[in-house]
Amino acid sequence: MPQKKGKYTFELTTTPAVLGYAAVVGKKEGEGPYGKYYDQCHNDTTLGESSWEKAESRMQNEAVNIALRKSNLKNTDIDCIFAGDLLNQCISSTFGLKSLDIPFLGQFGACSTMAQTLGIASLFVESGAAGRAAAVTSSHFCSAERQYRFPLEYGGQRTPTAQWTATAAGCVLLGKRQDNPGAKIGLKAVTFGRIADFGIKDANNMGAAMAPAAAQTLMDFFKDSESSPQEFDLILTGDLGFIGSELLEEILGKEGIDIKPVHNDCGMMIYDREKQDVHAGGSGCGCSAAILCSAILQQMEQGQLHNVLFVGTGALMSPTSSQQGESIPSVAHLVYLTAT
Amino acid sequence: MTVSKKEYKTMADKASPPTKWGKNMVMAFLVGGGICALGQAFLHLYLYFGLDKKGASTFVSITLIFLSALLTALRIYDNIGKHAGAGSLVPITGFANSIVSPAMEFKNEGYVLGIGGKMFVIAGPVLVYGIAASILYGLILWFFHLY
């Protein structure tokens, strides 16, 4: 059973096992610095579908199916799937996963969805509610642009603080430790974040809006678990981008916590900032999902990384709230991954 | 957290790189000026072919709108806009782009609710306030002509 530690952290005493994972990405992401780590890169970002929404759905479906195949499991072996995306009513998840016939629980955490679904899935497995659970999420640049911003062919300019929504999907399958003693990667703790709102209103500066949420969750975790950043090989936030990451380090610095030597951010990793013209970095549910479900988990399996804190950050605004002049509430969820 | 909202705003402003005004203005001037020069060239061409001034001006607008719609459909105009900014946004070509791009984008939602309903989603406010301003201007003009 999960043990509550401190005020906000759940300790997973059985260390639920990562059974499999997969990342599926689009062309731009495939051309990025982590291109070689993904399971599938689609050069045609429509994936041969007639709409961007269908393309995103298919990407999410592929991520689950590849993860199942890699771990020699069938869809019927999964007791519960937690999934989410950026689109209204999470249609990428519902349409993408409807054929899988797995009990489905839709989640919305904006770009924090990978950490949120992974955290909940781990609690389900830890508590025995599920023998095996899946966490999956996706985002697509084109479907996000048309919902949140302008049509693709509109000739506007992006601000220097804007982040580029990643066309990507990622899936992690979890199972009970006792059934999978050989699994290299496990989850040790989860901290669900509180909503933080520091008054940032610019929807084109989401990194700045989300940095305080990430700082708050990390501080909660360090306090609850009585640990410090030095005990981890990597603190991976996603997706603060370049501006948000700088602000996170600055906020924590003022609290006397130095994460700089071990900190990296999925939004800074997924693209080459200069060559790929992405301004402040990447974003979108799929950004942190793709980085985690490729390079990071692979490096953990290979023994290059042992203790990793994965902190998914989400900006919880909508076009409606932004148009009504509201500031951007943000949240960050933390998952503590460990490799044996 | 020890950081206050006010303090954080200063930190965020400092961390956020500013818009490159100088570069943007030069690009806008060159491309915007280029589009206008192109219009002028067409005007001379149509006058040369024997159209009167009014007819030639109308044909210039039609030509520029057509070229902008064509470049939008060929997925080129947004790449010009990325560098030119206001230079390609403000002239009549930008207005055409703002109507053609949602029409393309929302085709999947059908001809009525998609293309028809969303076509003016960006240009709509320009039309509303443009027409409202012209009515106001007309009223003022009419008022001054009374005396």
Q: What's the rounded Cα separation, in Å, for the pair A270 and A273?
A: 9
The domain segmentation of chain B, as residue ranges, is: 21-145
Give a yes or no: residue A180 inside a domain. no
Three-state SS for A76?
helix
Q: Is the peptide bond before A239 cis (omega within 30 degrees of 0)?
A: yes
Chain A residues with CB-CB distance to B75 below 8 A = 152-153
For residues A160 and A274, state if they share a domain: no
Domain count, chain A: 2
CB contact (8 A) between residue B9 and residue A199: yes
Please list, in sequence order, all residues whose beta carbon lies within 8 angstroms of the beta carbon of residue B103, skipping any fewer than 6 positions away: B115, B118, B119
Give the helix, strand, coil percentages of chain A, each rounded to 5: 40, 25, 35
pLDDT band at B90 (very low <50, low <70, confident <90, very high): confident
What is the domain extent for residue A81?
17-175
What value does the mean pLDDT take over residues A31-44?
Answer: 96
CB contact (8 A) between residue B24 and residue A157: yes
Counting residues of chain A whose pLDDT is more than 70, the rounded percentage is 100
Query: Nearest residue on chain B to A162, judged by CA atoms?
Result: B16
| Type of residue found at B6 | K
Residues 227-266 on A with a CB inside 8 Å of B are 243, 246-247, 250-251, 254-255
For residues A241 and A322, state if they share a domain: yes
Looking at A110, A145, A175, the residue that finishes a domain is A175
What value does the mean pLDDT take over residues A153-168?
Answer: 93
> What is the model's pLDDT at position A274?
87
For residues A171 and A308, state if they share a domain: no
Give a yes or no: residue A204 inside a domain. yes
pLDDT band at A340 (very low <50, low <70, confident <90, very high): confident
CB contact (8 A) between residue B105 and residue A146: yes
CB contact (8 A) between residue B5 and residue A255: no
Give a yes or no: residue A237 inside a domain. yes
Distances (CA, A) of A160 to A130, A248, A280: 44, 19, 7
> What is the model's pLDDT at position B125?
93
pLDDT in tens, B108-146: 999 999 999 999 999 999 999 999 999 999 999 999 988
For residues A200 and A62, state if they share a domain: no
For residues A121 and A195, state if they share a domain: no
What value does the mean pLDDT take over residues B77-105?
Answer: 93
Residue A135: closest CA among A149, A121, A152, A154: A121
pLDDT at A259 over 90: yes
pLDDT band at A169 (very low <50, low <70, confident <90, very high): very high
For residues A201 and A245, state if they share a domain: yes
Give a yes or no: residue A260 inside a domain. yes
pLDDT band at B147 (very low <50, low <70, confident <90, very high): confident
This prediction's pTM: 0.94
CB contact (8 A) between residue B78 and residue A154: yes
For residues A137 and A225, state if they share a domain: no
For residues A95 and A227, state if they share a domain: no
Q: Which CATH number fits the domain that encloses residue A235? A: 3.40.47.40
Interface predicted TM-score of the whole assembly (ipTM), two decimals: 0.89
What value does the mean pLDDT take over residues A57-84?
Answer: 97
For residues A100 and A148, state if they share a domain: yes
pLDDT at B34 over 80: yes
Give a yes or no: residue A10 inside a domain. no
Rg (CA), chain B: 21
Please list, in sequence order, all residues whose beta carbon lies within 8 angstroms of the beta carbon of residue A3, skipping any fewer than 6 positions away: A10, A11, A13
For residues A152 and A65, state if they share a domain: yes
Chain B residues with CB-CB distance to A157 below 8 A = 24, 81-82, 85
Looking at A138, A157, A175, the residue that finishes a domain is A175
pLDDT mean across residues, chain A: 96
For residues A192 and A265, state if they share a domain: yes
Counting residues of chain B whose pLDDT is more than 70, the rounded percentage is 100
| Strands of A73-226, DSSP E | 80-84, 104-106, 132-139, 164-165, 168-175, 185-191
Give a yes or no: residue A88 inside a domain. yes
For residues A129 and A189, state if they share a domain: no
